[in-house]
Structure 1
């Protein structure tokens, strides 16, 4: 696959993951009362896991951080656009004290998805760099051993 094609796949996949994660993040479990119960944002966690695996795949496929960064930045950009979307048709609940009081579950899930998409990008870039460097060191050691 050519370099441009891999970058195109990274960008398109990042956009798709941003939309998918934005749709999926609203799946939550609330144990107890709506306003004071335990919130488990399982949809956001699943979306972040999917993003992490996709970013690792593209980064290890190309052995470069650029593709991982392109995918992650694109995903975060889509999540940010949904987070900042004006009007009543919001897909994400932006944080405010009023939103946290009235809708704690969706507000927490939205924060986990939005901030998590940036954190997952950083984590995947560190992991890709570490795995690629380790593999290169192993290949060098194999060539040097008689």
Structure 2
């Protein structure tokens, strides 16, 4: 069962990395572009999907290996998209110039990229806490 679940987690990490990279660019600007508030709802939704998938994997297995594998795979795919050279980028890498010209997409890209690592850590802490709590309750 474990090798199959590890394969599912790796594959899900690839899919989440691609889906999140596509989804993260959905933003809502409240107010004028120059002075308005950026709501990166696509990045938030993509990170929520990653968190839920990693929690499922960790609670299904009772281990930290599966959510870690899924998270590292997602982060790797997001990093490849973030660092991809050329004019056909799906992610806007941070720079002061990019932040001035495209504040919404730049902010959404940074949130998505760094958020994949943060979500993985949060998921691993939550899985560990839930598994330990459930083991102590069942005794």
Q: TM-score, normalised by structure 1?
A: 0.94
SS at 2:32's partner residue? coil
1:31 positional shift: 1.0
Work out the CA distance in 2 between the residues paired with 1:83 and 1:37: 25
Runs of 4+ in 1 over 4 A off after TM superposition: none
1:36 positional shift: 2.0
Q: Which residue of 2 aligns with 1:76?
A: 75
Q: Which residue of 1 aligns with 2:105?
A: 106
1:115 positional shift: 0.6
1:35 positional shift: 2.2
Alpha-carbon displacement from aligned partner over 1:98-139 (angstroms, at most 9, x marks no partner): 100000000000011001110000000000000000011111
Q: How many equivalent pairs are there?
A: 139
Q: Which residue of 1 aligns with 2:51?
A: 52
Which region of structure 1 is more displaced relative to structure 2, 29-38 or 14-23?
A: 29-38
Work out the CA distance in 2 between the residues paired with 1:98 and 1:19: 26
RMSD over equivalenced CA pairs, Å: 0.5
Counterpart contact for 1:21–1:47, Cα < 8 Å: yes
Work out the CA distance in 1 between the residues paired with 2:4 and 2:77: 21
SS at 1:39's partner residue? strand
SS at 1:118's partner residue? helix
SS at 1:55's partner residue? helix
SS at 1:8's partner residue? helix
Work out the CA distance in 1 between the residues paired with 2:21 and 2:83: 12
Larger radius of gyration: 1
1:41 positional shift: 0.0
